[in-house]
Homo-oligomer: A and B are copies of this chain.
Amino acid sequence: MGWAGVRTLPWYVAGSQVLGVTCVVITGVWMGHYYGGYAWDGSSQQFNVHPLCMVLGLVFLYGDGVLVYRVFRNESKRSVKILHALLHMMALIISIVGLVAVFDYHNSSNIPNMYSLHSWCGMLTFVLFFLQWLLGLAFFLFPWASTLLRSWYLPLHIFFGLVLLAMAVGSSLMGITEKLLFSSQSSSSKLAPEAALANVLGLLLVCFVILVGFVVSREEFRRPPNPEEEALSVHFNTLGEGSGPSSP
């Protein structure tokens, strides 16, 4: 059907970018306008770095890292792999800044760490993401893994890649919920403009992950098989490519 043929791919990708940038901008405006902007001095302005970095790193850049296999579906597999690894490295670094921001703020303000479900899920997502990044590097970018091992790990890498993006958004939704309840203890039962903005942010984050998931899982959008490339590249050949639904 026309709405999902490969010619429509640029529209879905453009939509995901509009959504992703909007999420980052809304997070920035929310923290900037309602909570006094950004600082790195242990104050609550340092906390504000946390949501911005997590949405930018663990949601938007992470999602774009996932999408490169569809956006550059006709480029060489090797280049796309390196871009995939680099985007996820940027996502990792920005997430680490975001995590340091909140731990540092908590410690300066004597707020205990890691008590909420948001922190448990968020930390689990970050640790698994770091692990998945290391495994991806070891299996697919370095020439260590056999083709059998690669084709065994590939579907798991893809499955957990999408699971972690969904977990990042789930953790963000809990973060939004917490922030709104903490900041308006007494008036939490009214829909203030701030709450409406934050709720819209939550819905847009959900739309972003759904759109990324759709683009990645849609059969029509997959990379065309390239036997010549497969035969020529030894280190960068994943073998799974084109042979099953689990290729990136």
Interface residues in chain A, defined as those with a beta carbon under 8 Å from any beta carbon in chain B: 1, 111-112, 115-118, 120-121, 124, 152, 155, 159, 163, 166-167, 169-170, 173-174, 176-178, 180-182, 185, 188-191, 195, 198-199, 202-203, 206, 210, 213-214, 217-219, 244-246
- In the bound complex, how far is the Cα of B182 from the Cα of A189, in angstroms? 11
Write 29 A-B pairs (CB below 8 A) sorted by A numbering.
A112-B189, A112-B191, A115-B189, A115-B195, A116-B177, A116-B180, A117-B176, A117-B180, A117-B199, A118-B177, A121-B173, A121-B202, A121-B203, A124-B203, A155-B218, A159-B214, A163-B213, A166-B170, A169-B170, A170-B170, A170-B206, A173-B174, A177-B177, A177-B178, A178-B181, A181-B182, A219-B246, A245-B245, A245-B246
A69 to B83, CA, bound (A): 38
* Contact indicator A152/B210 (Cβ below 8 Å): no
Q: Contacts A177-B174, A177-B178: A206 and B159 contacting too (C-beta < 8 A)? A: no
Measured CB to CB, the closest approach of chain B to A229, in angstroms, equals 22
Residues of B within 8 A of A213 (CB): 159, 163
8 Å CB contact of A219 from B121, B182, B202, B245: B245
Chain B positions within 8 Å of A166 at CB level: 166, 170
Separation of A202 and B206 alpha carbons in the complex (Å): 18
Write the chain B residue with the least CB distance to A170: B170
Q: Which of B124, B155, B170, B202 contacts A120 (CB 8 A)?
A: B202
Chain B hits for A1, CB < 8 A: 152
Shortest CB-to-CB span from A198 to chain B, Å, is: 7
Residue on B nearest A191 in the bound complex, by CB: B115
Shortest C-beta distance, A186 to chain B (Å), equals 10
Determine the chain B residues whose CB is within 8 A of the CB of A245 once the complex forms: 219, 244-246
